[in-house]
Amino acid sequence: MKITLRKEGDEFDYGGARFQVLAPGRELPTAKKRANDDCLATTVGVGNTAALLAGDVEPVAERRIIAQHPRAELLKVAHHGSARVTSSELLSAVHPRYAVISVGARNVYGHPRHEVLERLQRADVRTYRTDHLGAVTFYLDGRSVTPDAAISH
């Protein structure tokens, strides 16, 4: 199996979708810092729709993402909803309509943090949480983004 290292500025097509890599930065040595600093953050575009997959980015990488002004209807909230990321600045830059937080129920970290949930609410982002809903699926058809979950919070 071939492994391809991707960094900021890389673009590629896969499965009919267009991927743009926003982090990690090209100048950052891989595996020299904490694993989260190597986290891959991408936008995935299908037609006129896009999702921002923020992985476990830390604040420095989030600022890099903000500087690139990605637009996405869907945001995969970084770091399970840690208070350190998903800033108001990120939400203003991205303008997501939906967010999904991948997080385990009753986790020891208290994720997602109430600060993040409040920021999402103030930005009028409809938020889906895996600790409440289990698996959540979003469909990007090139014209719209459609969530597939029983309820939202």
- SS3 labels along the chain: CCCCCCCCCCEEEECCEEEEEEECCCCCCCCCCCHHHHCCEEEEEECCEEEEECCCCCHHHHHHHHHCCCCCCEEECHHHHCCCCCCHHHHHHHCCCEEEECCCCCCCCCCCCHHHHHHHHHCCCEEEEHHHHCCCEEEECCCCEEEECCCCC
Domains of the chain with bracketed CATH: 11-148 (3.60.15.10)
Query: Does residue 92 surpass a pLDDT of 80?
Result: yes
The predicted model scores a pTM of: 0.90
For residue range 13-66, what is the model confidence (pLDDT) as tens digits? 999 999 999 998 887 666 555 667 678 999 999 999 999 999 899 999 999 999
**Which of 21, 13, 147, 7 lies closest to 73, judged by CA?**
147
